[in-house]
Amino acid sequence: MEFSKFTIILTDRCNFHCSYCSQKKANRWLDISTVTKALDFIYPHLTKECYINFYGGEPLLAFDRIKETIAHLERLNRRRTRKIHYSLSTNGSLLSEEILRFLDEHAFFLLLSFDGWAQDISRKKGSFDRLVLLIPEILKRRRISLETNSVFTAETIGHLSTSIRLILRLGVPKIHIGFSSQPRWTPTSLIRMKKEIAAARTYFLAAYERETDIPWVDMANKYKKSIYRCNAGRDQVALAADGRLWGCFLFPHYFDGRNGNRESEKYCFGGVDTFLGDPEAIYARTMSAIAGLGMDNFSTPERRCIMCEEIESCWVCPIASAFSSRAVGKISLQTCRMTRMMRKEKDLFSRGFENKKRGRRPRIKAAGLS
Ligand code: SF4
Ligand code: SF4
């Protein structure tokens, strides 16, 4: 057992009601004694350099508990045998002067949910103005590493390319883009998505020299062909707001409300006390179930992924895709199509940058950004 990432969901309560959010907001809070008990066990299993990630709900609703958690970790790490990085995913609404100072002092990685021009459509009305003013304030804090996470839906996809430009103009150095499966993507919205990505590509090709320089993380990352497997529990672990331990923070989101489901038990390490009763045996048993979560065991309604010629370049998170297919290991046709499209787009990004390096004009249909 060795973990490079420990995610703590201090509360699943949130002060936003984003239209595409599938998380149940049950108003549960981790008490600090559960957190410290889990940390006392996990600390010796952390890698020399590791990440403690605060997630929610909106984790800043539990800011006092974040401070207590870090104080406890610093006591455990007083001999500095681990290099611990902290990260926080937030909607930004509660970021005050005091909190920013604390995040700066602890050199936090801050993942800010910000949908650009779609912000007031999908997230809380009026939050756009606040975030546009807040981002430059965060960037002044030199020890905070800021990244944004933007989610687009079939209804807001027309804002993708202009939102990317806006976020970069504000000075954000790294961006993550996600696509919500709800509401369903129609053929027209998928065509719009392609056009928007083409517009972003045209901009990136003009503004950046190398593919690895571009700030859209998924497009910049190189990938090796292989059969993708879920990494839950392998090098990461998560403590949910109800006090149960999982291999990844996405599991409690999906299985919440499905507690009686045997499948949920199969993938869960159990409550902290249960797990600490026999950690080695519970870990081994749970990991043998998670080992089955690889592309070679997944299927769409049309075929098994193992029969697909694209399997080695396809990566689908089994839990994220279960939100639309309603079963772990099943991939909806919509997710399969979108995954294929994204892979082709990524190849076009790579080809465009290769052509640029060779001094050739990219053979990509220009789609200007407005
Ligand atoms: S594949 Fe999905 S569930 Fe598995 S570790 Fe990655 S994000 Fe978590
Ligand atoms: S492209 Fe579709 S069928 Fe092929 S491996 Fe990916 S999800 Fe499975």
Q: Is the pLDDT of residue 18 over 90?
A: no
Nearest ligand, CA 234: 1
According to the model, what pLDDT value does residue 184 have? 87
Confidence band for 369, pLDDT divided at 50, 70 and 90: very low
Q: Is the pLDDT of residue 260 over 60?
A: no
- Is residue 339 in contact with ligand 1, taking CB distance under 6 Å? no
- Is residue 305 in contact with ligand 2, taking CB distance under 6 Å? yes
Q: Is the pLDDT of residue 127 over 80?
A: yes
- Is residue 250 in contact with ligand 1, taking CB distance under 6 Å? yes
In the numeric block, which tokens belong to residue 159?
Answer: 């804002």
Distance between CA atoms of residues 156 and 119, nearest Å: 9
According to the model, what pLDDT value does residue 17 have? 81
- Is residue 22 in contact with ligand 1, taking CB distance under 6 Å? no
Q: Alpha carbon of 303 to those of 211, 226, 294, 318: distances in Å?
A: 33, 19, 15, 16
The rounded percent of the chain whose pLDDT value lies above 90 is 74
Confidence band for 122, pLDDT divided at 50, 70 and 90: confident
Q: State the alpha helices, DSSP H only, in 46-96.
A: 63-76
Strands 83-90 and 46-55: parallel
Q: Indicate the top mutation candidate among 149, 315, 319, 325 to test ligand 1's pocket, ranked by most ligand atoms within 8 A of CB.
A: 319
Ligand 1 atom nearest the C-alpha of 236 is 5
Nearest ligand, CA 300: 2
Q: Residues 265-316: pLDDT tens digits?
A: 899 999 999 999 999 999 999 999 999 999 999 999 999 999 999 999 999 9
Nearest ligand, CA 254: 1
Distance 317 CA to ligand 1 centre (A): 5
Distance 232 CA to ligand 1 centre (A): 6
According to the model, what pLDDT value does residue 269 have? 96
Domain locations along the chain: 3-220, 294-362
Q: Is the pLDDT of residue 2 over 60?
A: yes
Bridge partners (DSSP) of residue 49 are 83
Q: Is the pLDDT of residue 222 over 80?
A: no
Ligand 2 atom nearest the C-alpha of 309 is 4
Nearest ligand, CA 246: 1
Confidence band for 182, pLDDT divided at 50, 70 and 90: confident
According to the model, what pLDDT value does residue 115 have? 95
According to the model, what pLDDT value does residue 259 have? 55
What's the average model confidence in pLDDT over 42-49?
Answer: 97
Cβ proximity of 87 and 108 under 8 Å: yes
Cβ proximity of 41 and 85 under 8 Å: no
Q: Alpha carbon of 37 to those of 203, 221, 233, 243, 314: distances in Å?
A: 49, 37, 18, 11, 39
Distance 312 CA to ligand 2 centre (A): 9
Radius of gyration of the chain (CA): 21
Please indicate, yes or no, whether the overall pTM of this predicted structure exceeds 0.85.
Answer: yes
Least confident residue range of 17-26, 157-166, 351-360:
17-26
Ligand 2 atom nearest the C-alpha of 316 is 7
Distance between CA atoms of residues 257 and 24, nearest Å: 8
In the numeric block, which tokens belong to residue 189?
Answer: 């919205």
Q: Is the pLDDT of residue 366 over 50?
A: no
According to the model, what pLDDT value does residue 271 have? 96
Confidence band for 367, pLDDT divided at 50, 70 and 90: very low
Distance between CA atoms of residues 267 and 245, nearest Å: 10
Confidence band for 368, pLDDT divided at 50, 70 and 90: very low
Distance between CA atoms of residues 283 and 281, nearest Å: 5
According to the model, what pLDDT value does residue 183 have? 84
Ligand 2 atom nearest the C-alpha of 314 is 6
The burial of 254, by beta-carbon neighbours within 10 Å (0-12 exposed, 13-18 middle, 19 or more buried), is given as buried
**Residue entry with tokens 């958690």:** 69
- Is residue 200 in contact with ligand 1, taking CB distance under 6 Å? no
Supply the CATH classification number for the domain 3-220: 3.20.20.70
Burial 107-142 (b: 16+ CB within 10 A, else e): ebbbbbbbbbbbbeebbeeebbeebeebbeebeebe
Ligand 1: residue whose CA is nearest its atom 7: 317
